[in-house]
Amino acid sequence: MAPPGTEWWRSASIYQVYLRSFADGNGDGVGDIAGLRARLPYLRDLGVDALWIAPWYPSPMADGGYDVADYCDIDPLFGTLAAADALLADAHELRLRVVLDIVPNHCSNRHRWFAEALAAGPGSPERGRFWFRPGRGPNGEEPPNDWPSHFGGPAWTRVADGEWYLHLFAPEQPDFNWESPDVVAEFERILRFWLDRGVDGFRIDVAHGLLKDATLADEPEPFPAGGFSSDWRTAIDQPGVHEIYRDWRRLVGSYPGDRVLVGEIVFTSQARVAPYLRPDELQLAFNFSLLSQEWDAGAIRASIDESLAALPIVTWVLENHDVTRLVTRFGEREARAAALLLLALPGPAFIYQGQELGLEEVDLPDESRQDPIFRRSNGERLGRDGCRVPIPWSRELPERSWLPVPAEWAERSVEAQLDDDTSFLALYTRALRARPRGRFAWLEAPDGALAFERGDLTCVVNVAAAPIPVADVVVASEELGEALPPGAAAWVRRA
């Protein structure tokens, strides 16, 4: 762990803990804080610098905890505030930083404020903390505008007295109205609550969505198939949102210890993310551009170049709890090669739990699926459960588990991989220790391959070229002869 004041996050390896699928400490089939605490030494040995923990607040779990009912407590499913404090202390003892997931765009419909808003009725200050509006059409039977929800269906739900409320996600996730001073003040209180307990920063959910065009105008562009678009104009990315982050940056900056704000900001073009990373706003934002690339050298290079050109500091992401697992997207050998690409690029790298085990997307039976996307699209979109299956710790798989764990994962388990020097886990562990630092520059490479220097190492990724001779290999994605075959990557010492 870098000492305070050194902007540790600039080159950090940050491990994403999706808590309910990480480690189950009490055998109820759901991961929890006790389980995570017990596995902190695993994360230290893996060699990461920080954890980002998915929402652990009291929640009805309509969207896996991204529907928060109380921002200053812990869901009993996961533990207690005392357990959270103990976790923070243990993590810090092991020199692991802890970044919390904060969800400011929306809460749960079970949040006290939403219940108060429903009870208080139209025109009340309580409703002013959300987006309540009369409907359109003769009896107000049509939603106030044409916005679809990210999870399918309209972004509006009607309540008993005839008004509608806005939810960019599930109906159980009403959007806050950030024009309301109550909301602004409440989030300052919430951030302080956790900063005072010692968290090292926040991952900000839907960071670009907090403010809406207050006229609630229809979107100017027609909606793409599938509804919600990350390139929307009126529902997201309003100029005033930057003022919120300037305030938050001042707030975290008033605490000692170099705390970080990481925005989840999803646009097709990284140039649109750049304003959020101005010096007085967020330090980091996820760069999701590699997530949508095929295993294609030209496409990967173009995506890297676009990000490096557009952003003052670039993060790298190949997996998270919202997307199909990398092994399933690229293939197993390719996913190993991609790990070396990820960890050689300049800037912070995010690793989603199970990525280091090479877990594939699980094809779950319909009756097991829990993601609201599956339900709300009538099964047309499978949703994100397949990448959220609890990770296997030992060959003996758990008897209870909130999503079924495939039997083949016994041999993918941490226990099995720790015994195997050729495992995914061994590869990630080696690479995390040897992560190169220093200058980045592209080097010449055959068509279908990528090569760049990074400090005293060269990273060569043979995506689909003829075998490339390599010497002086520091880390390789697989056992090599004299040459790097297609689908493999290596870090070699620079001559």
Q: Which residues bind ligand NOJ (CB under 6 A)?
A: 63, 66, 103, 169, 205-206, 264, 321-322
> What sign does the CA torsion over 473, 479, 485, 486 have?
negative
Tell me which residue has its CB nearest to ligand NOJ: 66
Instruction: Give 336 or 384: the residue with its C-beta nearer to ligand NOJ.
Output: 384
Instruction: Give 237 or 264: the residue with its C-beta nearer to ligand NOJ.
Output: 264
8 A C-beta contact, residue 394 and residue 363 = no
Instruction: Give 227 or 455: the residue with its C-beta nearer to ligand NOJ.
Output: 227
SS3 call for 89: helix
8 A C-beta contact, residue 252 and residue 217 = no
Please give the Cα distance from 173 to 266 (Å, whole number).
19
> Which H or E run includes 384?
none
CB atoms within 10 A of CB 6: 10
Q: Is-catalytic flag, 479?
A: no
Please give the Cα distance from 395 to 390 (Å, whole number).
14
**Shortest approach of ligand NOJ to residue 494 CB, angstroms?**
38
Please give the Cα distance from 33 to 329 (Å, whole number).
31
CB atoms within 10 A of CB 11: 17
8 A C-beta contact, residue 241 and residue 187 = no
**What is the pairing mode between strands 440-442 and 449-454?**
antiparallel
Instruction: Give 90 or 322: the residue with its C-beta nearer to ligand NOJ.
Output: 322
Which of 383, 366, 400 has its CA nearest to residue 63? 383
Please give the Cα distance from 181 to 346 (Å, whole number).
39
Residue recorded with tokens 């954890």: 51
Q: What does the block give as tokens for 103? A: 């969800």
Q: What does the block give as tokens for 348? A: 């912070």
Which of the residues 205, 319, 334, 360 is marked catalytic? 205
**Shortest approach of ligand NOJ to residue 390 CB, angstroms?**
16
Which of 240, 235, 234 has its CA nearest to residue 183? 240
**Shortest approach of ligand NOJ to residue 54 CB, angstroms?**
8
Sheet holding 260-263, edge to edge: 284-285, 260-263, 201-204, 97-102, 50-53, 13-17, 349-352, 316-317
Please give the Cα distance from 415 to 411 (Å, whole number).
8
Instruction: Give 126 or 264: the residue with its C-beta nearer to ligand NOJ.
Output: 264
Which of the residues 63, 258, 264, 371 is marked catalytic? 264
Q: Is-catalytic flag, 213?
A: no
**Shortest approach of ligand NOJ to residue 66 CB, angstroms?**
3
**Shortest approach of ligand NOJ to residue 447 CB, angstroms?**
36
Instruction: Give 151 or 440: the residue with its C-beta nearer to ligand NOJ.
Output: 151
Q: What does the block give as tokens for 421? A: 């020097």
Instruction: Give 206 or 391: the residue with its C-beta nearer to ligand NOJ.
Output: 206
SS3 call for 204: strand
Instruction: Give 14 or 431: the residue with its C-beta nearer to ligand NOJ.
Output: 14
Please give the Cα distance from 368 to 379 (Å, whole number).
12
Say which DSSP state 315 is in. Answer: -
Catalytic residues: 205, 264
